[in-house]
Structures are given as C-alpha cells and as structure tokens.
A and B are shown apart, each in its own frame.
Chain A
C-alpha cells in the first residue's frame, strides 16, 4: 500500500498497470471541484425550486492505485452522496470525475459500462442490497455474465469467489435470508469481486455488523486488497475502523472537505478543529487512557445543509472561531506530508509550518486567498 506524500491532485500514482491507455502517473480516480446539490421543490402543479441541499460542495481529491482512502464525517456531511456520485448513482451538479484519465462525469450508460466493471460498490445494508428472491449463485452469476465468462465456467468461478470471501460451496444454493449479517456482507463483496474490479467503493461496509464480525470483514478486505491489488474508497463514521483500514483519510463537514491527511498523522496531528472535535468525542476502549485524556466537547449540532453557515461552515460550533471565519471561506492549505486542511486557525502546527504552507489547487472555487493565522 502506498503512503501518502506529495500534493493532492497532481501526484504520481504507482506505475499504472494493465490495460489502461492513460499516461503513467494518472491517478486511478481524480475528483475536481465536485458539487452535488439536491433541489428542494415546492408546489403541486408547478414544481418550483425553493432551495438546494448542499450535499457535496466543491470537493477535490485524487486516489492512487492500490491506495485505501477513508472518508469520515457525521450523518449529513455528504460522504455517502460523494461516493454515490463517484459511481454515478447520483449526478454531479458541477465539477468533474475522472477514472484513469477518462472524464466520466456525464458519460452515458453505454460508455459507463466498461468503467463500472472496474469500479464496484459494496453497500451498508447487506440485507437490502441483495435480491431476496435470488439464490447466491444467481446473485453472483449476473456480474459474471457481464464480465463475459462462458456459462460452463460459472460454477467454478462462483465457488472460487465464495472461497475468497470465506464462504463455502454448500452456500451456493441458499437465499440471502439464510445467512447472518456478516455472511451477507461477504456475499456483497463476492458479487463486487465477480467483475474483477480495480476499485471498490465501500459505504459503511461494517457498520451494521457486530464487533467480532466487523473484525472478520475488515481482515477479509485487507487480505483481498493484498491478493488482488485493489484500491478502496472506504466511507464510515467510525474513526477507529477508518484508521485501521486507510492510507489516507478525508474528513468532511456539511458538504465540504475540511481535512485530508495520511492516516496516522490525522490522529496524532489533527489540524482542523472539527477533526479534533470528532477524535475527542470518541471514547477510547481503555479505562486508564480514557481517564487520562483531555477531552474537548463540541457543543450544538450540525447546521442545516439547505442553508449552510457563511464563511467556514464549522464556525457556529468552533471554539476558535473569529470574525474572519464568519465571512471568508478558508482555502485548503497544504502543509507538509500531503496534509491539507481548510481552516483559518489551524491546530497542532508550528509557525514555520504555517509559513511554508501553500494554498492548494484543491481549494473550493469560492474560497479566498487568506493565509492561515496561528
């Protein structure tokens, strides 16, 4: 797995592999100023648009081959909408999404088909994402057909896939309801693997599972990544899980990317006050460390994404907020180690780090040029 370094968008990925015509160094996935707004309509006869839910508001990042990128944030921060937009389950309002250098933002169904074969999704609720009237072998046969596997190979392929995700051949003829939650999630993963994808987008894949089963599925994802050289985008609200699986982590708040950092560094050196707040809110399952820890609690609740606050969206809850935070949207500032944060008052950074920091191209278009102050 690659370690996070270099800048965000233009970074050189590991040597790109098989079958891509993209020039070397193209990231697997590049997201540029992506916005997803949902219109709010009123009126029964004439559908007037009365406003927008700012679900994803000007987010840019790149994913390298073989990397696991975690996305964290609270409910309503736009993390699920973001990855749904990546696989084109919802349409982008603005901005572009490139897969291996190909712009897929407005690609039609036909053009998307080969790309969807390389990009698969695993959903949070394995019960709802498997057709209850189909047997496991039927569920897995559909993607196999799409991949062009000859019919007489289906059974061997399906067995191989089940084996890969830790299920057995005897499970082939069963229905989804005959499995436990953890096993169902394994079926969801087997189905995603059936088309031999390069990238798997995981939307809260373990949130619905018990801890002991969670650990099994996380270990499975880890093994599969090593064996099949997969890249993951891993969305979760559980920062412990995200830390365990990710190389780099994006923190989102109310539709905005507020921080992106190498995984370890995010936990030892959170720059954005919201990241500190999130980390501080998580109880550590160790009584002594929990007692020793100084915890700063954020007050209040996330504001309404229909009418987000001006300036920095976190300013209504931020203990460090000043006048500038209310008026000017902070740009994404790039510190050392490929660690970026959008904050006027960065935490855990020295004065010289601030001096050396530069405004990132990934900054929202509406953000100003303000330098962070310490």
Chain B
C-alpha cells in the first residue's frame, strides 16, 4: 500500500497506534459506550492479544479498525494511525484500500464469513483481484491454490472448485486465513479464530498462524477470551473490561505480575488441565456492568473486593511499576500491596471475603 503523501508516517515506527478510541452506539434505551478510551500500539511482526469477556469491547475495537462498526447510530472519537493514515476518520474508499491489502481480518465463524453459493476458488480470486487489477484470473487462481496449500489444505488445486459447505470447520478457517493472506497484509486481525473449533484443530490453526507470522512478518491482533490460546501465541496482552483497557503488558508481565484485580480474577477463574482440583475456583462475583449506565469511576469497582473510596475516580492507564515502563494498568491500589492481595491459596486470584452479590 502506498503511504499517503500528505501525512508523515507515525513517529516511533508503530505499525498501528490506537489513541483514545471511543465507540458508542445510540439505542432506544440510551447510549451504549462500547469502547471508552482505548489506546495501544502494535509493532511490526508482533502478536498482540486483546483479552476480555463478552461485552468488554474487544471485538468492537477490532472491527472499528476495519471500519466494520460504521453505522448511522454509531459515533467515534480518537485516532487509529496505520501506515500514516487515520482509520477512524478515513473515507469508506480509503478504508477499502486498507482492508484486505494493509489489514486483513479472520472472523470467528468461518461458515458465515464465506459465501455459500460461490466456489472457494472464485472467492479467493475475487479478493486478490479487488486489490490488484493487474493480476489475471488465471494468475489469481494459481495464487489461490498456492495460498491454500500453504495453509495446509490438501489437494488444494482440486478443492478450489469446492463450495464452503464441503469443508469442515477447521478447513474453512484455513480458507479464511488463506484469503486474509492473499494480498500480503501487514496486520492480521483474528477475532476468536479458534473458538468454534475442536482443540486438536485449534492447535493446528494456532500453529499455522505462528508459522505465518514467522514467514510473512505480519503482525497479528488476536481477539480472544481464552487465556490458554493467549499463553500459546501472544507476545503482548491488552486486557479489556467494560469498554476500557484495564491493563497491558508482555505475556509474562500479565501472567506473573498482574496489576489489575480484574486480571487476577480472570487468571483465577480458569480451570486448568495441569492443576490439581481445588475445592472452589476463586471466581469473580457478580456480573459485568451495563454499558448504558456504567458505574462511576473504575468500571470494575462494583465487583472488586479491594475497592476503596478513591475508586470512584477513574484511574489513568499508566505505568505504575518502576522497573516495567511498558506495563500499564488502571488501578489505584499501591503495587506493593497488590503482591499480597492477589494471592488466593497458592495461586493468583480474586479474594472473595467481601463477596459482592449480583
């Protein structure tokens, strides 16, 4: 993709820099603040996981980067600089050029993202030729076969003539990845790419993504709720809760030195195959807040057993540890105190002595 001559490339060399992104939707019941001030940056070639539960705004953030949340009732604030262009304010035409060629996306449900009435080959060819008209149909078909082989689809040449329903879920997801790669994107956004798949197939797809990153150098944004998948593939993690980033850091920082009580709760809630069965999981009490009327101050306050009076003010997302300048969090508690607060039994979790009722 050519860099727009009028705007200089973003300084610092970030591939993508999201700053103060806000997305809200007007509904009959009021304004839903789905994304409420999200900032993060992606470097070339890195895998960043956006982690959160349903309604945390992780998918809305990812889809906004692709311009997929644009609708008459949506309003946007903030910037998302990619290759010198702001994706939030870009026109639909400009965005179309970015989509597929600069940034490609893989969705959770491969069946509903493929057109059921067209052959797989035709769909990949179309994607290639939309962004590069100079490629002939025959050339594009060759490319399609190559791409399918590369993502591990056996007998690729024959299968170009298959329809989506003739593929299994795992194979369909491979087709989606092949399509996403067809125009050599610099950034691949994968929204829950393995959630609908069985574990053995999930392992194969994750391996595929890992190899692709190595071969093409594309950065990957992985949107997921599965911390196992995150631990397997991510370099950095952005934890979202109720529309805000509550913590971000490297894989090891988030898993071994988590600073936000919500992250503790997430880590404590996971059932693991390598852990002895404990009596009770240190679960997070209550429910996520309604984004129509989010709580004042820290959004996690109503469910947090460690909340105190200062939590009615919104904590800034910033580095609070002297030795980890890139480990950011939104929590007022002193880092020193957190070390003891976050230990439940012999693991990290959310203490439950002041259980909050939903």
Contact between B199 and A289 (Cβ–Cβ < 8 Å)?
no
Give Cα distance in the complex from A289 to B271, angstroms: 15
A binding-site residues for B, Cβ under 8 Å: 74-75, 166, 180-183, 210-216, 218-219, 222, 237-241, 243-244, 263-264, 267, 277-290, 295, 297-299, 301-302
Given contacts A74-B201, A210-B225, A282-B203, list 11 more A-B pairs with CB under 8 A: A181-B54, A210-B54, A215-B284, A239-B199, A240-B272, A278-B199, A281-B202, A286-B231, A297-B207, A299-B204, A301-B168
B73 CB–A CB distance under 8 Å: no
B252 CB–A CB distance under 8 Å: yes
Residues in chain A near residue B53, CB distance under 8 A: 210-213
Residue of A nearest to B170 (CB): A301
Contact between A238 and B274 (Cβ–Cβ < 8 Å)?
no
Contact between A183 and B272 (Cβ–Cβ < 8 Å)?
no
Select one of B203, B231, B276 contacting A281, CB under 8 A.
Answer: B203
Give Cα distance in the complex from A132 to B284, angstroms: 28
Residues in chain B near residue A278, CB distance under 8 A: 199-200
Known contacts A244-B277, A287-B252; is-contact A281 B200 (Cβ 8 Å): yes
B255 CB–A CB distance under 8 Å: yes
State the Cβ distance, A193 to closest chain B Cβ, in Å.
Answer: 19
Contact between B273 and A239 (Cβ–Cβ < 8 Å)?
yes
Known contacts A241-B271, A243-B271, A285-B270; is-contact A215 B199 (Cβ 8 Å): no
Contact between A240 and B270 (Cβ–Cβ < 8 Å)?
yes
Contact between B198 and A237 (Cβ–Cβ < 8 Å)?
yes
Give Cα distance in the complex from A290 to B273, angstroms: 12
Residues in chain A near residue B269, CB distance under 8 A: 211-212, 214-215
Give Cα distance in the complex from A301 to B269, angstroms: 30
Contact between B231 and A287 (Cβ–Cβ < 8 Å)?
yes
B binding-site residues for A, Cβ under 8 Å: 53-54, 168, 170-171, 198-204, 206-207, 225-233, 251-252, 255-256, 265-277, 279-285, 287, 358
Contact between A218 and B281 (Cβ–Cβ < 8 Å)?
yes
Can you name 18 A-B pairs with beta carbons within 8 Å?
A74-B200, A166-B358, A183-B358, A210-B54, A211-B53, A212-B265, A219-B280, A240-B272, A240-B273, A243-B273, A244-B271, A267-B273, A282-B199, A283-B203, A290-B231, A301-B168, A301-B171, A301-B201
Residues in chain A near residue B170, CB distance under 8 A: 301
Contact between B203 and A295 (Cβ–Cβ < 8 Å)?
yes
A-B pairs, top 3 by smallest CB distance, nearest first, are A215-B283, A283-B232, A215-B269
State the Cβ distance, A63 to closest chain B Cβ, in Å.
Answer: 19
Residues in chain A near residue B251, CB distance under 8 A: 287
Residues in chain A near residue B287, CB distance under 8 A: 180, 182-183, 213
State the Cβ distance, A306 to closest chain B Cβ, in Å.
Answer: 14
Contact between A285 and B267 (Cβ–Cβ < 8 Å)?
yes
Select one of B232, B255, B267, B273 contacting A279, CB under 8 A.
Answer: B273
Contact between B199 and A211 (Cβ–Cβ < 8 Å)?
no
State the Cβ distance, B345 to closest chain A Cβ, in Å.
Answer: 14
Contact between B198 and A75 (Cβ–Cβ < 8 Å)?
yes
Known contacts A74-B199, A180-B287, A301-B168; is-contact A283 B281 (Cβ 8 Å): no
Residue of B nearest to A274 (CB): B200
Contact between B200 and A284 (Cβ–Cβ < 8 Å)?
no
Residues in chain B near residue A211, CB distance under 8 A: 53, 225, 227, 266, 269-270
Give Cα distance in the complex from A244 to B269, angstroms: 11
Give Cα distance in the complex from A283 to B232, angstroms: 6
State the Cβ distance, A66 to closest chain B Cβ, in Å.
Answer: 16
Give Cα distance in the complex from A188 to B269, angstroms: 22
State the Cβ distance, A303 to closest chain B Cβ, in Å.
Answer: 11
Residue of B nearest to A182 (CB): B287
Contact between A283 and B206 (Cβ–Cβ < 8 Å)?
yes
Give Cα distance in the complex from A196 to B38, angstroms: 49
Residues in chain A near residue B228, CB distance under 8 A: 240, 282-285
Residue of B nearest to A238 (CB): B271
Give Cα distance in the complex from A263 to B271, angstroms: 14
Known contacts A212-B284, A237-B198, A277-B200; is-contact A243 B277 (Cβ 8 Å): yes
Give Cα distance in the complex from A79 to B269, angstroms: 25
State the Cβ distance, A136 to closest chain B Cβ, in Å.
Answer: 15
Give Cα distance in the complex from A182 to B53, angstroms: 13
**Residue from the set B53, B252, B273 with the largest chain A CB neighbour count within 10 Å:** B273
Known contacts A74-B199, A211-B53, A297-B207; is-contact A284 B281 (Cβ 8 Å): no
State the Cβ distance, B331 to closest chain A Cβ, in Å.
Answer: 17
Give Cα distance in the complex from A280 to B228, angstroms: 12
Give Cα distance in the complex from A321 to B206, angstroms: 26
Residues in chain A near residue B280, CB distance under 8 A: 219, 222
Give Cα distance in the complex from A89 to B32, angstroms: 42
Give Cα distance in the complex from A217 to B210, angstroms: 34
**Residue from the set A183, A237, A264, A285 with the largest chain B CB neighbour count within 10 Å:** A285
**Residue from the set A181, A182, A214, A286 with the largest chain B CB neighbour count within 10 Å:** A286
Known contacts A212-B53, A244-B271; is-contact A263 B201 (Cβ 8 Å): no
Give Cα distance in the complex from A75 to B198, angstroms: 7
Known contacts A283-B206, A290-B231; is-contact A218 B271 (Cβ 8 Å): yes
Residues in chain B near residue A243, CB distance under 8 A: 271-273, 275, 277
Known contacts A74-B199, A263-B277, A278-B199; is-contact A219 B204 (Cβ 8 Å): no
Give Cα distance in the complex from A205 to B111, angstroms: 24
Known contacts A74-B198, A216-B283, A219-B283; is-contact A284 B273 (Cβ 8 Å): yes
Residues in chain A near residue B268, CB distance under 8 A: 215
State the Cβ distance, A231 to closest chain B Cβ, in Å.
Answer: 17
Known contacts A212-B265, A241-B271; is-contact A285 B281 (Cβ 8 Å): no
Select one of B207, B270, B274, B358 contacting A289, CB under 8 A.
Answer: B274
Give Cα distance in the complex from A213 to B284, angstroms: 7
Residues in chain B near residue A295, CB distance under 8 A: 203
Give Cα distance in the complex from A222 to B227, angstroms: 23
